Chain A
Amino acid sequence: MPIKFDHVTYEYPMEEKPVVAVKDVSFEIADGSFVCVCGENGSGKSTLAKLMNGLLQPTSGTVTVDDKSTATEVEKELFAIRQKVGMVFQNPDNQMIASIIEDEIAFGPENLGVPREEIGERITYALDAVGMSEHRHHTPYKLSGGQKQRVAIAAVLAMRPEVLVLDESTAMLDPKGRAEVLKVAHELHAQGITIVLITHFMEEATQADRVIVMSSGEVVMDGTPEEVFRDREGIERYDLELPIVDDVAAALSQQGVPIEDKIYSVSTLAEAICRSK
């Protein structure tokens, strides 16, 4: 059922000259994986995300979800794709429709024509999954950024998606909110939902199965976090900031602590330090 990009190019039609946002990109996102997409501003990450659920349709090449092309005009087919590939955006205030959280969660299932009783069950499930059950009857207005984003995730979960795409959904949050959202993402991943996390924060990439780096619309690096971070030249060329754990590990090894200097996650670092004693 993976999402498959086959030589996909996307151009934003502009008056003078179209802007090529995604350039001849091919890859597959496997079922149940946790993929992180990084890259500098304007590298085409959001465009890539919108191509995944048919919000944008490729100028050339094909995007398929469950072997069905997103290039369709039939609303029903498009909705089937968007139900499978849920998307959460950056600004929580700009993606909420209702004034009561319960109604917000119900919006997606209502659009899909889910029967009333089942919508109730889905709301319970979705709010429970993001740990927001006690806010069911409240307004989203007074919540913290992290809580609002969790509600936005719940609103997508209620549509029972197979893939959850988070387009810089942590970018506007404080560290606490970011941690909340990431925790939810990992929990959902553990439940079998495929996660595509688009982010500026390289720490978030350390916990992924796979990191895709974009630059000027092209996929320039693709591999496990270890593989990507080991490529120092690439890291420098694409202006990626390595996670702080890596710096700590390098500094420690310089100080003569006997650990490998290329460590990319807090847990491996902790293990290495314990082992080194």
Chain B
Amino acid sequence: MNNIVFGQYYPTGSVVHRMDPRIKLLAVILYIVTVFFIKDYTMYGAILVFVLGVSCVAKIPLKVLLRTVRTIIFLVLITSIINLFFTRGGKLLVKWGVIKIYSEGIHHAVKLTLRLILLMLFPSLLTLTTTPMELTDAMESLMKPLKVIKVPVHAIALIMSIALRMIPILMEETNKIMLAQKARGADFDSGGVLKKAKAMIPVLVPLFVGAFRRADELALAMDARCYSSVAKRTKYKVMHLSVRDLVGGLICLAVFTVVFLNKYLWAFDSMILALFK
């Protein structure tokens, strides 16, 4: 499949891929809220099992899924190290000069790491199984109620989709300009941060000028094809909620509710704990 150039879309044609993008988007939002409320390891485990289960159904290889975590590994390391060293409380485990590590610190660090990784995984599943175009459509559809308070929903969606379309084009252009500047002796690789930033100026200026010219021409082309942000348009692609989408959505909802409310579902909690003993 050569039709996706941008983003990390990983086409496998699975049920998850074919699911209504609006349901997927809502699920991700719910998921993020849920993850922020989790306090104990069991529930982290439960959510992890859920995410891995979904990725199995989506036929996304584990390697591909974990690759998305790589981008935040630095952030994870820094925050967990800070938590490890600066959290006080619990038993003092290590004392080495000024460095003191408490048991609470270890718990904090581990939980934070788990939380960040979980926060990365499920939204990544969304972008792995949904094209950027579907996502914009989903956002437009979900924001529709805002039309009542005069939010230009369609214009916003159009801006997003044009931005998506322009990204590969502008990246290519950046490469071209950099090559052209290199051919004239520009040096992008040596020197400190400041010098490198300075070297980028001759790249950014033509890039911006080019982008504005493009925007101008695009506006003209849109005018020529009768675009109006106020007139009533029809929409060629409409999204249909199928029974399958609803079932998928309900499963997610059920999982999140259980995890979210596990504190109050004491019986359930102790049952799980009993299982692990």
Contact = CB atoms under 8 A, between A and B. Distances in A.
Interface of A: 50, 53, 55, 75, 79, 82-83, 86-87, 89, 91, 93-100, 102-103, 106-116, 119-120, 123, 137-139, 141-142, 155-156, 159
B234 interface: yes
Interface string B154-168: 000010011011001
A108 B162 CA distance: 15
B42 to A, nearest CB: 42
Contact of A82 (B226, B231, B236): B226
B62 interface: no
A161 to B, nearest CB: 10
Nearest to A142: B2
Contact of A100 (B6, B133, B223, B232): B133
Contact of A97 (B132, B222, B236): B222
Given A98-B161, A116-B235, A120-B236, A139 B224 contact: no
A113 B234 contact: yes
A141 B5 contact: yes
Contact of B225 (A50, A94, A120, A155): A155
Interface residues of B, number: 36
A103 B233 contact: no
B4 interface: yes
Contact of A113 (B4, B132, B232): B232
Contacts of A156: 225
Contacts of A50: 220
B236 A111 contact: no
Interface of B: 2-6, 131-133, 158, 161-162, 164-165, 168-169, 213-214, 217-218, 220-228, 231-238
Nearest to A82: B226
A137 B237 CA distance: 13
B233 A97 contact: no
Contacts, number: 109
Nearest to A114: B234
Contacts of A138: 2-3
A95 B3 CA distance: 19
B164 A99 contact: yes
A93 B236 contact: no
Contacts of B221: 87, 89, 94-97
A17 to B, nearest CB: 22
Given A116-B236, A138-B2, 9 more contacts: A55-B224, A94-B217, A99-B164, A100-B3, A103-B236, A111-B227, A111-B231, A113-B233, A137-B3
A116 B238 CA distance: 9
A103 B237 contact: yes
A82 B223 CA distance: 9
Given A113-B233, A137-B3, A75 B225 contact: no
Contacts of A89: 217, 220-221, 224
Q: Which of A79, A123, A156, A159 has the most CB of B within 10 A?
A: A79
Given A103-B133, A110-B233, A83 B226 contact: yes
8 contacts: A50-B220, A89-B224, A95-B218, A99-B131, A109-B234, A109-B236, A110-B235, A139-B5
A93 B237 CA distance: 23
A53 B221 CA distance: 12
